[in-house]
Chain A
Amino acid sequence: MDPNSPTFIFLNAFLINNFVLAMFLGLCPFLGVSGKIKTAGNMGMAVTFVMLVSSICAFGLNVLLTRFDLEFLKLISYIAVIASAVQLVEMTVKRFSPALFRALGIFLPLITTNCAILGLALFQTAREYTFVQSLAFALGAGAGFTLALLLMAGLREKLDLADVPSVARGAALSLMIAGLLSLAFMGFAGLGG
């Protein structure tokens, strides 16, 4: 498959270089909000949404920065612009769609400064993606994040009833599941290449 096609970029971010399970980005929401399948789904949607917004912002910002030779400001301006853009979107959603806000709202401020979001913006600039490629990348990364979160939440819900040894309860168990999931995702290495 052509490595520059949007489909491949989507698949790559979705499975092969999954943000959480292969690149280990965005672990705090992955471990923090994966207790219930329902919240995990909402969180996944919120992350996908923020990723799309940040991808668009970063693309525009990059054009601007390159134009004025200010690329050294990349890091800080990405964070500031993405965070404020998401806040603005959050306010708009709150005003116009309370239902959507209740589903996504509480998560949005939590993830605006997440490393997965910043990572996405930095990767797409470094790889010089076009606009369409960037969108495919953001969608893939978001979908991959949602998938990882849902798998994790399912396993954790199942293990809620398990007789887990006291040393393994809580964070240890979550990290162990995350590690095993990551091992399983190693199978996608080199897919389509």
Chain B
Amino acid sequence: MSEAVQLKTSPHLRGMHSVDKIMRHVVYALIPVSLFSVMQFGLSALALIVTSVVVCVGTEHFFCKRSGKESTVSDWSAVITGLLVALILPPGFPLWMAAFAAFVSIAVGKVFFGGLGYNVFNPALVGRAFAQAAFTVPITTWTPGMAHRRFLEFIPTTLTPPFLKPDFEAFRVWVESLKIDGYSGATPLAMMKFDHVEVDTLELFLGTLASSAGESSALLILLGGFYLAFRKMLNWKIPVAVLGSAFILSGIFYLKNPEIYPSPFFTVVSGGLMLGAVFMATDMVSSPVTPIGVWIYGILIGSLTVMIRLFGGLNEGVMYAILLGNAATPLINNLTQPRIYGAIRKRKEKAV
């Protein structure tokens, strides 16, 4: 047989995307957001990102070795989880708590379920939800961005010794020393919820206000999202469904009573909705695979977020909405199975 003829079993056509390639591009897409967060919050944000990534990668490596498997660190997925954990925490979050959240996200959110491909919840959000339950006060303490000495000193709470409470008195003194006019320590969402003050949507879009480390600039997040969607590494329908449903639902409430409810534009660009919609709801493992299911999933997340924000006790609901969406994913997949081409729909079986 000539060398030109190669015998191979199917499949003969292969996609060019491998797991580590996609993951690497997601990391690229997250780089602008991370850099902006370092620029805005300085050393503290940098330390937060580094800690979280190192702990995530280390945890993954440790557990792979312990279970006698080949280390899966090289597929970049742990790096993404680490980046995302850091980006959804407040910039002055104590590093030991961040390390804890990062450890939980990989150990509980991923390794426990069998590693990449089996994690039913988004690992980064598992870590964040855990931290929210365990460290309620530090996770809701926000820092003003663009402090002038941000590249020379840490935010005082960042360097809290392990297992100790952060020193909020020092933090308060530090914030006062910045002499920022009208800073109340609240994020735009909290101001909206409790005082019905709506900040400028454009500022939110560009990201110059207090927020979690990486949630501030909707613009950069969108850019990353477009890049991934353009390279077909992200299902564009999910962010569109999430943001669209959030926009429409909050629009309805806004039209009903613009005094109390935020405008739909504000809803879409504030808080973690953009980051969640683009980078976390689209997690390939924990989102549905059927064409209709994807829309249902996105709409579920978008409307739950708006419901929790407008009527819940918390001012931000994206994290919970995505976790609930993840939980509903198997059911959605189950209910929206497309008909196999050519198959005849089975008549409903009689009750046996």
Query: Which of chain B's residues have a CB closer than 8 A to the CB of A171?
Result: none
B317 touches A187 (CB 8 A): yes
A184 touches B327 (CB 8 A): yes
Residue numbers of A with Cβ under 8 A of B are 37, 99, 102-103, 150-151, 154-155, 157-159, 162-165, 168, 173, 176-177, 180-181, 183-193
Chain A residue with the shortest CB-CB distance to B66? A165
A157 touches B330 (CB 8 A): yes
A165 touches B111 (CB 8 A): yes
Q: How far is the CB of A169 from chain B (nearest CB, A)?
A: 10
Chain A residue with the shortest CB-CB distance to B120? A155
Cα of A173 to Cα of B118 in the assembled complex, Å: 12
B313 at the interface (CB under 8 A from A): yes
Chain A residue with the shortest CB-CB distance to B119? A162
B115 touches A189 (CB 8 A): no
Residue numbers of B with Cβ under 8 A of A are 67, 108-109, 111-115, 117-118, 120-121, 126, 129-130, 132-133, 304, 307-308, 311-314, 317, 319-321, 323-324, 326-331, 334, 351-352
Query: Which of chain B's residues have a CB closer than 8 A to the CB of A186?
Result: 129, 132-133, 320
Cα of A99 to Cα of B350 in the assembled complex, Å: 10
Query: Which of chain B's residues have a CB closer than 8 A to the CB of A176?
Result: 108, 112
Query: Which of chain B's residues have a CB closer than 8 A to the CB of A37?
Result: 331, 334
Cα of A185 to Cα of B201 in the assembled complex, Å: 30
Q: How far is the CB of A141 from chain B (nearest CB, A)?
A: 19
Cα of A186 to Cα of B304 in the assembled complex, Å: 13
Q: How far is the CB of A177 from chain B (nearest CB, A)?
A: 7
B118 touches A180 (CB 8 A): no
A154 touches B330 (CB 8 A): yes
Given contacts A176-B112, A184-B121, 10 further A-B pairs with CB under 8 A are: A103-B351, A154-B331, A155-B330, A159-B113, A163-B115, A164-B114, A180-B327, A184-B327, A187-B320, A189-B313
Cα of A189 to Cα of B323 in the assembled complex, Å: 15
Cα of A25 to Cα of B120 in the assembled complex, Å: 24
